[in-house]
Amino acid sequence: MECLRLHGCSVHTHNGFLHNAIRVLYSTRRAMSSNWQNKDSKNETKIRWKERAIPHGIERPCFLAQERMKYYIVDAFTDQLFKGNQAGVCLLEEWPDDQLMQEIAAENNLAETAFVVKEGNHYGLRWFTPEVEMDLCGHATLATGFVILNFVDKEVEKVSFETMSGHLTVEKIGDLYQLDFPSRPPKPISITPEMEKAIGVPVLEAHLSRDLMLVVGSEEEVRDLSPNIEVLRKIPEASIGVIITAKGVSCDFVSRYFAPNIDAAAPEDPVTGSSHCTLIPFWKERLGKSNMVARQLSKRGGKLICEDCGERVKISGNAVLYLEGSIWVK
CA distances 99 to 15, 45, 265, Å, are 46, 20, 20
Exposure of 142 by Cβ count < 10 A (0-12 exposed, 13-18 middle, 19+ buried)? Answer: buried
**What is the C-alpha to C-alpha distance for residues 276 and 175, in angstroms, rounded to an integer?**
20
**What is the C-alpha to C-alpha distance for residues 198 and 193, in angstroms, rounded to an integer?**
9
The count of other CB atoms within 10 Å of the CB of residue 97 is: 8
Asked about 205 being catalytic, the answer comes back as no
Asked whether 237 and 208 are in contact (CB, 8 A), the reply is yes
Asked whether 83 and 302 are in contact (CB, 8 A), the reply is yes
Asked whether 289 and 298 are in contact (CB, 8 A), the reply is no
Spot the catalytic one: 67, 112, 171, 219.
112
23: which residues sit within 8 A by CB, 6+ positions away?
Answer: none
CA distances 136 to 67, 94, 126, 168, 221, Å, are 28, 21, 8, 10, 28
Asked whether 228 and 198 are in contact (CB, 8 A), the reply is yes
Question: Of 88, 80, 79, which is closest to residue 114 (Cα–Cα)?
Answer: 88
**What backbone phi and psi angles, to 5 degrees, belong to 238?**
-100, 30
The count of other CB atoms within 10 Å of the CB of residue 307 is: 17
Asked whether 112 and 127 are in contact (CB, 8 A), the reply is yes
Which amino acid is located at 19 in the chain? H
Give catalytic residue positions. 112
